[in-house]
Amino acid sequence: MSTPHNHAEKGQIAERILLPGDPLRAKFIAENFLDHAELYTSVRNVLGYTGSYKGVPVSVQGTGMGMPSISIYVSELISEYGCRKLIRVGTCGALAKDLHIRDVVIAQAATTDSSMPTNIFGTSINFAPIADFDLLRTAYEKTKALGIPVRVGNVLSQDRFYDDEINFTKLMNYGVLAAEMEAAALYLIAQKYHVQALALFTVSDHITMDEAPSTVEERQTSFESMIRIALETVIE
């Protein structure tokens, strides 16, 4: 049995899965970090692979950009394929002044302007999509052990990348560390199904300060450190 968006058969996807937005990053992770990785879906070129990491079955699948896209993949991964530990690996734009390009951000919670929480809970409840505490603690400890600068806190999952209305300064003043586009939906759906989810990011650009973008090589190195952290966390 497959879905309209995923041609894997039941049993082909591991309970533990990494979720990059970019399908080619899924391919890169499968080919460079997993043992015996095999492609299980390529519907719409959204690639998904299952292999193993340190002997533990692990999958990796692209989710596309934005909350509507990741919602489709994550809902099916959980409800149809039995995924139980899901870690998004992505990039974010920094808001906090003491964050720098290449730093790692762990989303403890995800504030959002998406209508998804309101559609579910109505307007009288502002539901707080939050990370799984055990995954969060493990990822934090692994990052620290690698000596990589890391911040844990609130992120903004924004609905529009090109958004002239959003007040980043206010969000920053309320302690929101960075902006990205998927974590709130991932956390919301994981909480619905009582499974574990976490979102990890490397800072790719700075929204509130002028900071020279990292080189392609630097981006690759920080991306690879984040993948290592995510894999070490997901197999615990």
* Closest to 175 (Cα-Cα) out of 199, 162, 156: 156
Q: Which is nearer to ligand HPA, 180 or 232 (CB)?
A: 180
Would you count residue 179 as binding ligand HPA (CB under 6 A)?
Answer: yes
- Among 141, 205, 224, 236, which residue sits at the site for ligand HPA (rule: CB under 6 A)? 205
* Closest to 58 (Cα-Cα) out of 22, 28, 84: 84
* Closest to 131 (Cα-Cα) out of 104, 150, 155, 160: 155
Would you count residue 181 as binding ligand HPA (CB under 6 A)?
Answer: yes
Would you count residue 92 as binding ligand HPA (CB under 6 A)?
Answer: yes
Least Å from the CB of residue 158 to ligand HPA? 5
User: 53 pairs with which residues across the strands?
Assistant: 56
Using CB under 6 A as the binding criterion, the count of chain residues that bind ligand HPA stands at: 11
Place of tokens 């392609």: 216
Least Å from the CB of residue 234 to ligand HPA? 22
Can you tell me the distance from the alpha carbon of 147 to that of 12, in angstroms, rounded to the nearest whole number? 35
Taken in order 98, 99, 103, 107, the sign of the CA dihedral is positive
Secondary structure letter of residue 43 according to DSSP: G
Least Å from the CB of residue 183 to ligand HPA? 10
- Among 69, 71, 204, 214, which residue sits at the site for ligand HPA (rule: CB under 6 A)? 204
**Chain residue whose CB lies nearest ligand HPA:** 93
Would you count residue 17 as binding ligand HPA (CB under 6 A)?
Answer: no
Q: For residues 1 and 10, is the Cβ–Cβ distance under 8 A?
A: yes
Can you tell me the distance from the alpha carbon of 203 to that of 131, in angstroms, rounded to the nearest whole number? 19
Binding track over 26-55 against ligand HPA, x by CB under 6 A = ------------------------------
> Which residues lie near ligand HPA (CB under 6 A)?
91-93, 158, 161, 179-181, 204-205, 207
